[in-house]
Each structure stands twice: as structure tokens, then as C-alpha cells.
Chain A
Amino acid sequence: MMAPFLKYGVFGSETSLVVAFLLGIGFGFALERAGFGSARKLVSQFYLDDLAVFKVMFTAIVTAMLGVTYLSWIGFLNLSLVYLVPTNLLPQIVGGLVLGAGFVIGGYCPGTALAATATGRVDALTYGAGLYVGTLLFAEAYPLVKGLHTATPMGQTTIPQYFNLPYGLVVFAVVLMALGGFAGAGWVEKKMATQRTIEPTAS
């Protein structure tokens, strides 16, 4: 048996939808339990008070990356069959900025908005509705934005491929980056906490 299961015909599209549904529930549950069902928790990231978002996301990245690396190493997962979103550098930078701005202003990103909606938060519901309206507008205005959307196509590319680096080395570099990031995040949180406690007494 080889993965990806869908590509190797271990199960069909219907089963894959059921699996996607179950994984979605797991994902939403994990987001909510990490505290990401609250816009306050999410935006405190930008005030450097609480870097839980950074830590949770980077933990997820490292865990998934190591899992995929080892599964493909032992020959269970055919990495070349794993779908990659094609890289279009310019539109993805623009999209990233739009998403970032939306994150700061609205207090959610798409996934967390849905998780928070499930807990009954009206702000998240509004955010989610905006998400669908925006998607619809994008689709309707596609002829206008098509030029940007399809600009700078690089195909399905990866960092090891693009920079011609050994795959394993990139994996290790990302792990080091994450560990360094965690240490840095802890330091920033501690520093901000002491500043916040000093400020009221000083004023």
C-alpha cells in the first residue's frame, strides 16, 4: 500500500471526501483548543503579547514536515504525487498582504474564522460571510484580475528544487528555524510581560 491513497486508488473520491471531513473536524478542534477561536488571542500576536499563533503554526509545520519526510523516506509516501499549489510569486505576495491586513483588522484568518463561528461568535460569522462574498466578487471580477492572478508563474516548485539544495538539509534548516523561533518568541513574550507590568507603576 502506498500513499497518497487517492492517487493510488486505495480509496475513491467519495471516501476521500469523508476523510477530508474528519480531518477538517480535527483541524477545527485543534484550532479551537489552541485558543484560536478568539480574535483577542489571535491579534495579541501582533502586539507581541502572546505568540501562540506563531508557535502552534510552526509546530504544525515542523510536525507535518518531519512526518512527510520520514514517510517518503521509508517509501510509504510518493512525494511527487502530493499536490502542491503552483507558485505565482507576485500574486501570492499581493494575496499574502491582503490576507495579513485582513488578519490584523478582522482578528481571524479563514480557518480560525470558521472554527470561531462554530463556537457561536458573531464577529467570526461576519468575517466568514465576508470571506464568501469576497470569493464571489473575485470570481465575478476574474477577467479584470486575471493578468495579476496568472503573473510570474513558476509551476509547482519547492525550495530544494528552486535553490538546488539537498532535501534533507532544508528540512533540518526549517527545524532549526522553528526551534530558534520558539526560543525567540518566549524571550519576546517575557520581555513584553515585564514591560506591561512596569508601565502602569511608572505612569
Chain B
Amino acid sequence: MLQFFTTLSTNQRLALLAFVLGLVAIAATPARGGRVTVDAREMALLMEKGADRVPARTLADWIIQARSDFRLIDLRDPATFAAGLRIPTAENVPVGTLAQAGLARDEKILLVADDETRAAQAWFLLEAQGYKGVRIVEGGLRGWREQVMYPRVDGVDAAQRARLEAISAHFGGAPRSGETAAASDTMSAPAVAQAVVPVPPIPAAKKAAPAKKREGC
């Protein structure tokens, strides 16, 4: 046996090695199955790193910059979506129809609903199915209202205040301070929502823009 091996050229030895490794690999357990498997460790890691969420103000910046490398999905039911506050560029996809929404597994998907719970549920469903760039908009629409449209500007410096004012003005809101904040805090959320319904319409071209990819060759 050893004598046979010594008569082989280097190429033949390497070929033999590849053959043996390939033969043994038949027993290799399939690492990707058709069934959905949840990698709990990976999900926990994403949560720990905060890679599962995006702050409302960051989203506002992206919309202002007209970035097209993400899709913003509003998970509320169509009636509520049509009647209430909408974030510009948002597409309405209720949770039940996510599978038919034509989302790509490698694109950045931002989820928003009234609060974080529904968005978190949808996040889990999508992550489990191998969608890799899913994030929750922090605070949901409530967060959008409080952080972007009507941010509190008490105790912030002048530069930050000007920035917040510019952002909220862009989305048809206004910063709150002192009494106005106290007054609007007592307002019910739907009342605020209805006061600001005239939101810039959704630019249709937005959806068509291909997601920017950071991987591949």
C-alpha cells in the first residue's frame, strides 16, 4: 500500500486526497435544509448588537437623503394605513401577506407598525425564513411621532435643536418644548395622527430602485 503511494506523482496524490475527502463528505450533515430552522444564537447576537433595529431619526435621515437601499414596510392593516399617519416611502404589507410581498432575502427591510410588538413578530418570521437585513423601526409609529415629527427640544443645544426642527419640518411636524409639549402629551395619539395626516405622498420610483448590495462578486 505504502509502496503504491510512493509511486504516485504529487498531482495523483492530491487527486486521491480529494477523492477520499469527497467520499467521506457524503456523510456530511446538510447545513442548509428546506425546512425553516431558527438559529437562536444568531438571532440573540443580532439583538444584542442592536442590529435588529434602527432609530426613527436615522430612518428620517435616510428618507431625507432619498436613499434607496432599503424598503420600508408598514405592517398595519390597509384601512388603518390608508386613514392614519404614514411615513413617506412606506409600503403597506400586512403580516399575513409578507410572503407574497416579493421581498428579497438580501435587501434591507425596515418594519414599522403602531408599536414595536407587531414589528418584532414580523422581524422574527422574516429572520427565521432567512431574510438577512430586517430591522424594526424603534418605537414604531409612536416613536416616529415623538422622535421625528414632534421631538421634544427642552434642554438640547442650539445646533441639535435646529437639526430637529429641520427634520420635523421636513415631515410636516413641529418640535415641542415647555407648555406645548405638556399640552400635546395629553392629546391622544390618534388625535395627533389625524392632525398631521397630510404627509408627502409616497414617491413611486422609490420601490423600483434596486437594493444596494454589499456582497457578492
Contact = CB atoms under 8 A, between A and B. Distances in A.
Interface stretch (A32-40, A120-128, A155-163): A155-163
A73 to B, nearest CB: 5
A83 B106 contact: yes
A156 B39 contact: no
Given A168-B30, A175-B21, A9 B45 contact: yes
Contacts of A69: 25, 28
Interface string B25-64: 1111111101001010010010001000000000000000
The A interface, classified by DSSP as helix, strand, loop or mixed, is helix
Contacts of A81: 42, 132
A171 B25 contact: yes
Interface in A149-203: 155-156, 158, 160-161, 164, 166-169, 171-172, 174-176, 178-179, 182
Contacts of B45: 8-9
Interface residues of A, number: 37
A158 B217 CA distance: 17
B131 to A, nearest CB: 11
A171 B22 contact: yes
Given A9-B49, A160-B30, A182-B15, A66 B42 contact: no
Contact of A78 (B15, B22, B39): B39
A70 B39 CA distance: 20
Interface in B168-217: 210, 214-217
Interface residues of B, number: 30
B31 A79 contact: yes
The B interface, classified by DSSP as helix, strand, loop or mixed, is loop
A96 to B, nearest CB: 14
Interface in B127-158: 130, 132
Contacts of B216: 83, 85
Nearest to A8: B45
Contacts of B27: 168
Interface centre among B28, B42, B130 (most CB of A within 10 A): B28
B32 A158 contact: yes
B39 A175 contact: no
26 contacts: A62-B18, A62-B22, A66-B22, A69-B25, A70-B25, A73-B28, A73-B31, A78-B31, A80-B37, A81-B132, A86-B106, A155-B105, A160-B32, A166-B30, A167-B29, A168-B29, A171-B22, A171-B25, A172-B22, A172-B25, A172-B26, A175-B23, A176-B19, A176-B22, A178-B18, A182-B15
